[in-house]
Amino acid sequence: MGVPLFICRRCGRAYPKQRYRCRRCGSPEFNVLEASHGKLVSFTEIHAVRVGFKRPLRLGVVELDNGGKVVGILDLADPKMGDRVVVTRNSNLNFIKPAD
Amino acid sequence: MSITVRWVAVLGVGISRFGKRSEGLIDLLSESAVMALDDAGVEQVDELVVANMASGEFEGVSGVGSILVSRLGLEPARAYKVEATSGSGGAAIYVASNSILSGMSKVALVVGGEKMTTKETPEVSEVIASILDEDDRAHGLTLPSLAAFSARNYMREFGATRESLASIAVKNHYNGSLNPHAHFRKRITIEEVLSSPIVCDPLRIYDYCPISDGAAAVILADINVAKKYRDKFPVIRGIGYASDTNSPIERDFLFEMPAVRRAAEMAYAASKRGPRDIDIVELHDMATILEVIISEELGLFERGRGWKAAEEGVTSLDGELPINTSGGLKAKGHPIGATGVAQLVEVSMQLLGECGERQVQDAKVGLTCNVSGFGAGVTVAVVEVI
Ligand SMILES: [Zn+2]
């Protein structure tokens, strides 16, 4: 399963997070679209992890082809900026894997 | 003669040492508040605005405004807390300024503080992470990791080096070494920054501000009232406040902070001053990269040029545009609710020539920039002595 994107029905702006109103046009109505492909636009390896997370925690930011950016857990051996990736959602978490 | 400009006087300031303190929040707030009241020479205020993020989480205390108004003997002044995470101080100043400009208050006490060292670092991180978007947080995201995303992209886009970011930490520690209120008084070297433990790659421990206790206070007043107390005092000539998404990864660029830009435009327009007029700056360097990004968003440097400033000495105490003369969040410390207020205290003291060893010569116009979260809310103020 991919990640949900909330697309404003009136103006088409894509949001990775659910909102009650569109920031651009104020519309309260959104279509939900499932997105999965995109490119890696940043990443980090967290050593000072929060309670309950395994150290080090590798997170990335993906710019989805359908618009919007999401954070996800990196499942890539050697991440590079601009890598083509696929984001899958499992138990409410996003995982970033290489696009084949 | 009565002045009709929309300026707010800074009639008094108070600040005590940031760091690990034995006192609780109420005593820290009271200490700075009494100093500010004494400094201003006022006995009563119309309004008490407390800036604080997490008194409940850190100490199990709520209703800080009510507690403090009694403790300080300021009843029946209107008293409440303003909370905007790490931007609480700026937000409180914004609220109190508007009270004064509207005429509802003639004199207001703004006091900001946080007591953080009651908890161990992992618990503090949890409290701070609670301000993030729920879904981002579920992934283990932290404020420091947002700075890391930002740093990686900025360095790649503009060719900034690790050394250039480290030089910001070195500068701010040097300034902190000259500030008796700073948490860190120790000078550091670029090598020490670059060999310190990694927090979030590519940023290291010395790239980030510490966990501190502390408080700071200012007395704000109607200009015509202030003139009865003093001939010369700083004024907030213009103030701006703007918000932006609380999920910063949504932004077009991970190294931008649109709310800083917006708040600065408002403050520049209101003050009839521009970035070229600014002589000294206190800004929100939660991480070294933020000093760069914020200084660019404020229009002090062109986009992609700010990273060279510390390395070339432009932003050091004796440079053309000293930034974070107090040591900034980096070395002075960042007791969350105190920060925005402490920035106004530092700029006011600099403009009045009261900064001792870290005094900047001939500073006429100061600017403060306090940020909530990672750019979710921003206050910018332009300050000048009249
Ligand atoms: Zn819309």
Question: Domain for residue B137, yes or no?
Answer: no
**Number of CB atoms found within 10 A of residue B300's CB:** 23
Q: CB-CB: which of B122, B125, B152 is closest to A44?
A: B152
Together in a domain, B176 and B198:
yes
Question: Domain for residue B125, yes or no?
Answer: no
Question: Domain for residue B89, yes or no?
Answer: yes
**Considering only CA atoms, which of B376, B277, B361, B283 is closest in space to residue B318?**
B361
- How much is the pTM? 0.97
Q: CB-CB: which of B129, B133, B201 is closest to A45?
A: B201
Question: Domain for residue B154, yes or no?
Answer: yes
Query: What is the biggest distance separating any 2 CA atoms in chain B, rounded to whole angstroms?
Result: 60
CB-based contact A48 B250, cutoff 8 Å: no
| Cβ partners under 8 Å of residue A77, min gap 6 | none
CA B247 / ligand 1 centre spacing (Å):
18
Q: In this structure, which amino acid lies at residue A31? A: N
- The parent domain of residue A73 ranges over 3-98
Q: What is the dihedral of CA B164, B166, B53, B126, to 10 degrees?
A: 120
* Residue B147 near residue B184, CB atoms below 8 Å: no
* Residue B240 near residue B365, CB atoms below 8 Å: no
**Considering only CA atoms, which of B227, B375, B206 is closest in space to residue B290?**
B375
Together in a domain, B306 and B379:
yes
Q: In this structure, which amino acid lies at residue B34? A: V
**Number of CB atoms found within 10 A of residue B63's CB:** 13
Together in a domain, B105 and B244:
no
Q: What is the dihedral of CA B259, A44, B190, B143, to 10 degrees?
A: 40
Alpha carbons B300 and B323: distance in angstroms, whole number: 10
CB-based contact A17 B254, cutoff 8 Å: no
Alpha carbons B169 and B83: distance in angstroms, whole number: 28
Question: Which tens digit of pLDDT belongs to each residue from B342-357?
Answer: 999 999 999 999 999 9
Together in a domain, B98 and B162:
no
Together in a domain, B364 and B265:
yes
Q: What is the pLDDT of residue B1?
A: 54
Together in a domain, B86 and B185:
no
**Number of CB atoms found within 10 A of residue A65's CB:** 12
Q: What is the pLDDT of residue B2?
A: 56
Alpha carbons B244 and B367: distance in angstroms, whole number: 21
Both tokens of residue B344?
A: 């106004």
CB-based contact A51 B122, cutoff 8 Å: yes
Angstrom distances, CA of residue B16 to CA of B31, B179, B216, B248: 7, 11, 7, 33
Together in a domain, B195 and B89:
no
CB-based contact A50 B153, cutoff 8 Å: no
CB-based contact A44 B145, cutoff 8 Å: yes
Alpha carbons B187 and B196: distance in angstroms, whole number: 14
Q: What is the pLDDT of residue A1?
A: 86
Q: What is the pLDDT of residue B4?
A: 64
Domain count, chain B: 2
Question: Domain for residue B129, yes or no?
Answer: no
Question: Which tens digit of pLDDT belongs to each residue from A12-22?
Answer: 999 999 999 99
Alpha carbons B374 and B286: distance in angstroms, whole number: 9
* Residue B342 near residue B326, CB atoms below 8 Å: yes
Q: Looking at chain A, which residue has its C-alpha nearest residue B129?
A: A50
CATH number for the domain spanning B221: value is 3.40.47.10
CATH number for the domain spanning A50: value is 2.40.50.840
> CB-based burial of residue B359 (10 Å sphere; 0-12 exposed, 13-18 middle, 19+ buried)?
middle
Beta bridge partners of B236: B8, B383
Interface A-B, measured as beta-carbon pairs within 8 A, has a size of 85
Alpha carbons A76 and A91: distance in angstroms, whole number: 19
Question: Domain for residue B3, yes or no?
Answer: no
| Coarse DSSP helix, strand, coil percentages of chain B, rounded to the nearest 5 percent | 45, 20, 35
Together in a domain, B322 and B226:
no
Q: CB-CB: which of B136, B145, B250 is closest to A46?
A: B145
**Considering only CA atoms, which of B73, B55, B72 is closest in space to residue B64?**
B55
CA A14 / ligand 1 centre spacing (Å):
9
Both tokens of residue B56?
A: 């409940």
CA A19 / ligand 1 centre spacing (Å):
11
- φ/ψ bin of B55: left (φ > 0), alpha (ψ from -120 to 50), beta (otherwise): alpha
Together in a domain, B69 and B96:
yes
B129 to chain A, closest Cα gap in Å: 9
Question: Which tens digit of pLDDT belongs to each residue from A2-12?
Answer: 999 999 999 99
Angstrom distances, CA of residue B14 to CA of B11, B96, B182, B295: 11, 17, 14, 26
Those residues of chain A whose CB sits closer than 8 Å to some CB in chain B are 15-17, 23, 41-51, 53, 57, 59, 61, 68-73, 81, 92-94
CB-based contact B200 A44, cutoff 8 Å: yes
Together in a domain, B100 and B153:
no
* Residue B110 near residue B9, CB atoms below 8 Å: no
Both tokens of residue B248?
A: 């910063």
Domain count, chain A: 1
Together in a domain, B83 and B12:
yes
Q: CB-CB: which of A17, A43, A48 is closest to B133?
A: A17
A89 to chain B, closest Cα gap in Å: 11
User: What average pLDDT values come out for chain A (100 residues) when binned by 10 residues?
Assistant: 94 94 97 96 96 96 95 95 97 94
- The parent domain of residue B25 ranges over 8-119+212-234
Together in a domain, B14 and B67:
yes
Question: Domain for residue B186, yes or no?
Answer: yes
Question: Domain for residue B2, yes or no?
Answer: no
**Considering only CA atoms, which of B385, B380, B384, B386 is closest in space to residue B94?**
B380
User: For chain B, which ranges sit under pLDDT 70?
Assistant: 1-4
Q: CB-CB: which of A46, A61, A81 is closest to B142?
A: A46
CB-based contact B139 A81, cutoff 8 Å: no
